[in-house]
Structure formats: C-alpha cells, structure tokens
A = this chain, B = another copy of it.
Amino acid sequence: MDGKTASRHSQVTFWKAKPLKFLKSVMPIFGWAPTYSKTEAQNDLVAALIVTIMLVPQSLAYAMLAGLPPQVGLYASILPLIAYALFGTSRALAVGPVAVASLMTAAAISQIAAPGSPEYLTAAITLAFLSGLVLVAMSVLRLGFMANFLSHPVISGFISASGVLIAASQLKHILGIKVEGDTLPHLLGGIFGSLGQTNPITLAIGVSATAFLFWTRKRLKPILLARGLKPRMADLLAKAGPVAAIVVSVLLVVAFGLSGWAGVKIVGDIPAGFPPFSLPSFDLSLWQQLLLPAVLISLVGFVESVSVAQTLAAKRRQRIVPNQELTALGASNIASALSGGYPVTGGFARSVVNFDAGAETPLAGAYTAVGILAATVFLTPLFRFLPQAVLAATIIVAVLSLVDLAAIKRTWSYSKPDFAAMAATILVVLLVGVEPGISVGVGLSLALFLWRTSRPHIAIVGQIPGTEHFRNVERHAVITDPRILSIRVDESLYFANARALEDAIYNHIADQPQLRDVVLMCPAVNVIDASALESLEAIAHRLDSAGIGFHLSEVKGPVTDALKRSDFMDHFKGRIFLSQYEAISTLTVKA
C-alpha cells in the first residue's frame, strides 16, 4: 500500500520536474520519434503497403458484417490508426475494424435501430465513443485487471463460436438469398428454407472467390517462393489475393452487366472523399442501452489486443504497457467516433502481417492510414460494382481461422471446469447471442472457481522418513503418530469453506480415540477472513472441551499479522509453530 502511494506521488512530482519524460509516458511517440531512422522508415513503409492492401477489402467487408455502409469501415481505418500511433506502446499492433467487434456491434445495435437507417449509424458512432470512454476510464482508474476475469478458455470459446456465427451469417451473401436472424439455428433454418431462391450467378462468384481466397492464403506464397520470387514480394502478392478477387469480380460484373439481368447484389454507390466529422448522440437512454455492449466490446478487444501485442513484443524483447494500451485503444475509438467510424480494436491477423512485413514503429500504422485515406478518396468509385458475395468470401476466409478446435480439445483433456465454462460460452453464443455468451462464460467461470474454493482439498499428512517434509498420507509412505493429527487444508479459509473445515476436523477426531493434539498445517492458507476466524475459534473451543490441544503451523506472515490484530490470540490456548516439523518434534516430546 505504502509503496504504491509513494510511486503515485512520485509520478506527480516527477511530472512537475520533467514534463518531457511525463509526456513520453502518456504519448510514447515522443520516446522513439526523435531517433527515427531511414531504415526504420523504409521498413515501416513496406509493412504499411502490405497492411493497406489487406485492410481495404476487410474494412468494406467488416462494415457490411456490422450492418453499416461500406465507407464506414474505411473511415474506421484512418483516424483511429493515427491515434494509436500517438498513444500506443506496441510497435506492431494494427488497429481497425475487426470481425468479432463488428459482430458484437451488429448484435448490440440491431436491437435499437433498423440496419441502414440514420439512427443505426448514429448508434454505431455512439457505441465507438462509449467504448473509447470505457477504455480511457479503465486506464485512468487502473481497472485493467478486470480483463483478467475473462479466462483463456472463455475468450477462446467466444472467438471460435463468433467465427462460426460470422461465417454462417455470410452464407446468405454467397447464395444471393435473404435470411434474417442472429443465432445459428435461425441462420441455418433460414438458409435451408430459402435454398430454392439461390441466385446461381451469385453462387458461382461467391464459391469461386472463397476457393480462390483459400488458395492464395494457404498455397500461393510457397509456389511464388519456389518460382524464385523474393520473400517480401511473395508475401505482398499473397496478401493481395482479396484485391485481385475484387478487381476480377468488378470487371466481370461491369463486362457482363451481372448486376442487372443476373440479379447479382453489388455494394453500390460509395461516397468518395475525406472521412466526415461526426459526433456521437448524447441521448442518455441510448447510452444506457449501449453501456453493457461497450464494456464487453472494450474488454474483449483489450484482451485480444494485449495478448497479440505481448506475443509480438516478446519476439523482439520489447515490452508493452497494458495500462497505456487502454489509453491508446480508447483514443482510437474516440477518434473513430469523431470521424464517422465504429468500434475498432487491434486485429490479430493484420498485426501478425504488420510484424512479419517488418513494421518497426507505430508509424507503420500511420502510413497505413494514409494508404486507406488515398483509397477512400480515389478508389471508392471502383467499388460500386463489387459483388457482396466477394466481400462475404473475404469475411468467411478470414474468420474460419478464428475457430480453434485444438484449444477446445486441449481444454477438455486438461480441466473439466474450464471446459464447462468454454462449452457454455460456445453454446450460448451460437444459440442465444454474443453478449449473453460472454456474460454466461465469465459468470460460470467465476462461479466454478468459487464453488471449488468452497470445497477445499483437505489432507491428513505425515512425515516423509529422513526429511523434515510432510505430505498426504494417502499418496506417500509417511510416519504418523496416533496421538497427533496433522491436517493440511489446501485453500484460503474464508466464508464459503469455513464450515467444511469444521466438519472435516470433527469427523477426523471421532475416528481417533488416542488423540491428544491436532495441528492445522497452513502453508496454503493465504487469508483467514472474519467468518473463518469464528470457525477456528469454534474448533479451538470444541477441541479444548474434549481435552484435545489445537495448534497451527506454517502460518504465513500476512495471516499471522491479521490474527494478531484480532482477539483470537487472547483465547487461543494452542501454539503457532514455524514449521510442521517443529510442531511434531515439540508435541512428541510433550506426549
């Protein structure tokens, strides 16, 4: 406590003394920009080019997934990237619209407004703004630890299930049919019911695009390398797969007039030009409706961003500052809200691409923003005849890599409670929705943790011959003394398990008529709360009236301190031994 207050205090005085250093901690760009070299600039520019080529189709596609006009996806890929470059600590994280956040945006807003309406767009902008406020507030209040309560299996299950749900939601565009619904049974039921209305030309385009994109993703790079291309060029061409699909399909639509007689759905008019200045709604009832989705999007986005940023930073022995990442992601979302965008976060695939392509500083992100801006200003007329089926193919190919079946299998074999939380998350996401899914997952994983700590593992221990070490009598060949019961409880003692300890001790006493002393071994007891303290007093009282001594051993420092603050020691007639060995040595001599 004192240490923390001191460090916070020193940060304040430090800010007064050295404004530049403080500025560097809030805006890391001031730390690295003064030494920015030509090599770094070259590397950043190449990475930015590759990411731009990857991000343009994704931005259009994820906006469609979120139920928004395609240009909104482009707007969300400009100013937010600049904001992250100013505030972020990761040198490789690429922010922008991502699949899962787009799905969560659609789930949250389609409850409030009709897709395509101006209210829908306003709600999306407001959601980005709220999400930004939540992230900045978490940073200022040091609430980043909240993200720790999203366990890996829950996050992993959530991402996998979202991937399946997103892919299913895109099938209608591949088939050229209309399907309503946002759960897996609804989507699949709707698709089967409307299979008769399938548009054959759309289907042909969609299936070819999907197959082509899978091929460029998995096979193209090795082939190009084998043909003697340089790795960086091979990478660039492989990443340009979606761009090629767009160009070819637009040419086909224009050449054969497919959007007319063949009924192929196209993206339509996209306004060209700079992103507009926009403001969120300040309607309080809208804020109330969007607050929970904003918190969930922020938490999920933060967890995903930090984990990819940490993984990439570790590879180059750099460090990221999680609390500063909250500020950076918050600033990115506020920037998105002010420039006609929707919620953004760090994308897994594009960050890896950015890293592999050689990005050295967050400026790579800023260069990407310039690239997207150029596309927004000059290229939008070209996207008019882009078939929606091609965007759907881009999404399907991208999200299927989110589905991690190996993680499900690994969790099943390692831990059934973790698997239960994961399975519940997956099922609820698929059958009910994304927000209930993540909420149920978090709730269940916490409930299972609490339930487990309420039924602690309690072992009778004995001395391992020739050592001073004591272990479970059921697992090791140990020495015990019928006059002394050594019992070890493998959990902090708190209200949920205080009664279990009482029951266990009373049951063991009944079995041992020769018993003179009970020693409770506490190496795993990290806290004894007020309820457990009452239980210990009850145990001490009851053993005393049965003529049995009650002692503690290996009580940790913080626990001893707390006991000394209470009046427990005034009544306690037993001893507190430093080690179980000391306890047994002393009590055996006495007996």
A interface with B by C-beta (< 8 Å): 145, 148-154, 314, 410-411, 413-415, 417-418, 445-446, 449-457, 459, 464, 467-469, 471-472, 475, 490-492, 494-500, 523-527, 529-531, 533-534, 542, 554, 556-558, 562, 565-567, 578-579, 581-582
Contacts and interface: CB of A to CB of B under 8 A. Distances in A.
B452 A527 contact: yes
Contact of A415 (B472, B475, B562): B562
A469 B581 contact: yes
A459 to B, nearest CB: 8
Nearest to A450: B446
Given A527-B452, A558-B457, A578-B464, A498 B411 contact: no
A529 B410 CA distance: 12
A492 B526 CA distance: 10
A453 B450 CA distance: 11
Contact of A533 (B314, B414, B457, B471): B414
Contact of A567 (B145, B410, B497, B565): B410
A351 B189 CA distance: 61
A454 to B, nearest CB: 6
Contact of A469 (B468, B490, B499, B530): B468
Contact of A467 (B410, B452, B495, B579): B579
Nearest to A558: B457
Given A152-B495, A495-B445, A524-B524, A581 B468 contact: yes
B530 A152 contact: yes
Given A148-B499, A152-B531, 12 more contacts: A148-B495, A148-B496, A150-B495, A151-B495, A151-B496, A452-B527, A457-B526, A457-B558, A464-B578, A471-B557, A472-B557, A490-B526
Nearest to A524: B524
A558 B472 CA distance: 11
A453 to B, nearest CB: 8
The 6 closest A-B pairs by CB, nearest first: A151-B495, A523-B523, A152-B531, A418-B530, A468-B468, A490-B526
22 contacts: A148-B454, A151-B494, A151-B530, A152-B534, A153-B531, A154-B495, A410-B567, A413-B566, A414-B533, A414-B566, A415-B530, A415-B562, A418-B529, A453-B492, A464-B578, A467-B579, A469-B579, A472-B556, A472-B557, A490-B558, A491-B526, A524-B526
Nearest to A306: B499
A214 to B, nearest CB: 29
A579 B580 CA distance: 13
Contacts of A414: 530, 533, 562, 565-566
Nearest to A152: B531
A148 B566 contact: no
Nearest to A533: B414
Nearest to A503: B322
A439 to B, nearest CB: 15
Nearest to A556: B490
Nearest to A531: B152
A456 B526 contact: yes
A495 B456 contact: no
Contacts of A151: 494-496, 529-531
A566 B410 contact: yes
A93 B490 CA distance: 34
A524 B523 contact: yes
A145 to B, nearest CB: 6
Contact of A450 (B149, B456, B457, B581): B149
A148 B469 CA distance: 33
A264 to B, nearest CB: 45
Contacts of A145: 451, 454-455, 496
A179 to B, nearest CB: 34
A456 B145 CA distance: 13
A148 B542 CA distance: 21
Contacts of A457: 526, 556, 558
Nearest to A451: B145
A494 B449 contact: yes
A232 to B, nearest CB: 26
A494 B451 CA distance: 14
Contacts of A415: 529-530, 562
A390 to B, nearest CB: 37
Given A446-B450, A496-B149, A530 B468 contact: no
B153 A530 contact: yes
A149 B579 contact: no
A557 B497 CA distance: 20
A496 B449 CA distance: 10
Contacts of A153: 530-531
